[in-house]
Amino acid sequence: MALAVLHPPRSCAASNERLVARGLALALLGTFALGLWMRLAMLGLVPLGLEFSHVRHAHSHLGAYGVLFPLAFLAWRRTGAFALPRWALALYTVSTVASVAGFLTRGYGALAIAGSTVVAAGWLWGAWGLRHRLMRTTDPLSLVPLSIVAALSCVPFIALMLRKAPAFAQQLVATFLGALLLLVVAPSALSALGARLRWTPALWLCGVAGVASLGLWEHPVTRAGLVVYAAALGLVALRPSLRLVTRWSWGLLGLGLGALALGLVPNVRPSVLGAIHFLVLAPVLLSLAPLAWEPRSTAAELVLLVAVSAVAAPLLAQAFGHVAGTFAITTTASFLVAGWWSWASLASPSVSE
Ligand code: HEM
């Protein structure tokens, strides 16, 4: 009996895995639905019916709370680094649903703030649980604990500055988002691939400088930090043991971030949106998704990479002032990408434990 509790039967583990995979697929489909709804409304094809900023907040928070972090939690658990207990995951799920409902209806109202506070507590617990990785200088997860703390420390200042100095608050938001995506989600994805990094304390400092260059402090020194960090991510492309399209997508991400850091691509909203969506929809999801769902064939993944590039490239063109036709192209490609990931995520879960 005691053994059965310590080691739940395989069928029980499998049904838990299936539940997690289904929940993740639902959150991903919800994120896509909100994103596509915004895109169609931008083209004037459907009414939005709600405030644009509320839908945008619901979309980006569902993506972060409901897809990217739960996939990162899976990566931490599968690498034996840390696992939140089940009751905490249940509370995290309820809080995610509550905060997204809050963002959608009232924006940054009481419900969204209450739900987000519990979600942030879950992330901080994760940071604490991962502290034993801090000194492992080749482990991508060593970048995660301090990055969670650094990113969350922006939040009170964002709240304080939102009315007093909106432009400064936007720079803080960019830094916060950059830290979450580049210093927490990306290393978690790399850990799922079994990738190793070098000199992570120095790399972390470059990453911190790099995310500062995207928001709070654009300076040649911080840009240099982003160049180094972009190179570290891009070099994943040279690892022959990884799946081909996953490697290429990290390589393209490294080149894009490097171009942004060197000023070859202007740091304006359309290029940042293009970078965020490329990062999430190709390298991060391709690396993390196999923890929840069966991977697809190389040919199918290649189709995805082309479609994701067709989402990001028109946004990049907008950054250079070429607008004609770009909204239609990015929207069409977004439907392809959403269809692809719906197909991949509704497939059978991959139970690899
Ligand atoms: C193909 C599917 C998707 C579409 C069509 C889409 C569309 C959009 C749109 C229209 C915006 C607002 C753009 C603006 O303000 O001008 C946006 C912002 C954003 N999206 Fe997506 N998106 C998709 C997938 C995702 C996914 C999967 C995630 C994360 C898991 C994500 C994260 C974000 C973030 C972080 C922002 C920025 C929000 C902000 O600055 O407030 N998106 N997306």
Model pLDDT for residues 193-221, shown as the tens digit of each residue = 999 998 899 999 999 999 999 998 999 99
Q: Is residue 300 part of a domain?
A: yes
Q: Is residue 6 part of a domain?
A: no
What pLDDT, on the 0 to 100 scale, is given for residue 281? 98
Q: Is residue 27 part of a domain?
A: yes
Q: For residue 172, give Cα distances in angstroms to 132, 151, 168, 176, 323.
A: 29, 10, 6, 6, 28
> How many Å apart are CA 105 and CA 114, to the nearest integer?
14
Separation of CA 59 and ligand 1 centre (Å): 6
> How many Å apart are CA 274 and CA 167, to the nearest integer?
21
Separation of CA 15 and ligand 1 centre (Å): 31
What pLDDT, on the 0 to 100 scale, is given for residue 19? 83
Which whole number is the average pLDDT over 100-104? 98
Higher pLDDT, 18 or 230: 230
Please, is 11 exposed, middle or buried when counting C-beta atoms within 10 Å of its C-beta (0-12, 13-18, 19+)? exposed
Which whole number is the average pLDDT over 232-259? 97
What pLDDT, on the 0 to 100 scale, is given for residue 12? 60
Query: Does the C-beta of 67 come closer than 6 Å to ligand 1?
Result: yes
| Across 3-7, 145-149, 311-315, least confident range | 3-7
Separation of CA 27 and ligand 1 centre (Å): 14
Among the atoms of ligand 1, which is closest to the Cα of residue 28?
A: 27
Angle 10-42/326-345 helices, nearest 10 degrees? 170
Query: Does the C-beta of 277 come closer than 6 Å to ligand 1?
Result: yes
Q: From 184, 192, 163, 228, select the one nearest 76 (Cα to Cα).
A: 192
Ligand 1 mutation pick, 32, 43, 59, max ligand atoms within 8 A of CB: 59
Residue 294 CB neighbour total at 10 angstroms: 14
Q: Is residue 3 part of a domain?
A: no
What pLDDT, on the 0 to 100 scale, is given for residue 11? 57
Higher pLDDT, 295 or 12: 295
Using only C-alpha atoms, what is the Rg of the chain?
A: 19
What pLDDT, on the 0 to 100 scale, is given for residue 353? 47
Cβ within 8 Å of residue 305, ≥6 positions away: 245, 248, 249, 252, 282
Cβ within 8 Å of residue 131, ≥6 positions away: 145
Task: Kindly report the pTM of this predicted structure.
Answer: 0.94
> How many Å apart are CA 129 and CA 140, to the nearest integer?
15
Residue 331: which CATH number? 1.20.210.10
Which residue has the CA at smallest separation from atom 35 of ligand 1?
60
Which whole number is the average pLDDT over 42-66? 96
Which whole number is the average pLDDT over 306-322? 97
Residue 115 CB neighbour total at 10 angstroms: 23
Angle at 33 between CA 181 and CA 100, to 5 degrees: 65
**If DSSP codes are grouped into helix, strand and coil, which group holds residue 329?**
helix
Separation of CA 36 and ligand 1 centre (Å): 9
Number of structural domains in the chain: 1
The pLDDT of residue 4 is above 50: no
What pLDDT, on the 0 to 100 scale, is given for residue 16? 72
Q: Which two tokens stand for residue 80?
A: 């034996």
Which residue has the CA at smallest separation from atom 8 of ligand 1?
35
- Identity at 63, one-letter amino acid code: G
Query: Does the C-beta of 38 come closer than 6 Å to ligand 1?
Result: yes
Cβ within 8 Å of residue 229, ≥6 positions away: 182, 203, 206, 207, 210, 257
Among the atoms of ligand 1, which is closest to the Cα of residue 68?
A: 30
Q: Is residue 7 part of a domain?
A: no
What pLDDT, on the 0 to 100 scale, is given for residue 347? 76
Which residue has the CA at smallest separation from atom 20 of ligand 1?
60
Which whole number is the average pLDDT over 223-231? 98
Q: Is residue 230 part of a domain?
A: yes
What pLDDT, on the 0 to 100 scale, is given for residue 13? 61
DSSP 8-state assignment for residue 144: H
Q: Which domain holds residue 163?
A: 19-345
Please, is 301 exposed, middle or buried when counting C-beta atoms within 10 Å of its C-beta (0-12, 13-18, 19+)? buried
The pLDDT of residue 9 is above 80: no
Q: Is residue 14 part of a domain?
A: no
Q: Which two tokens stand for residue 201?
A: 């304390």
Q: Is residue 317 part of a domain?
A: yes
Q: Which two tokens stand for residue 63?
A: 């993506």
Please give the mean pLDDT across all residues of the chain: 93
* Residue range 139-150, pLDDT digits in tens: 999 999 999 999
Among the atoms of ligand 1, which is closest to the Cα of residue 269?
A: 16
Ligand 1 mutation pick, 104, 158, 273, max ligand atoms within 8 A of CB: 273
**If DSSP codes are grouped into helix, strand and coil, which group holds residue 293?**
strand
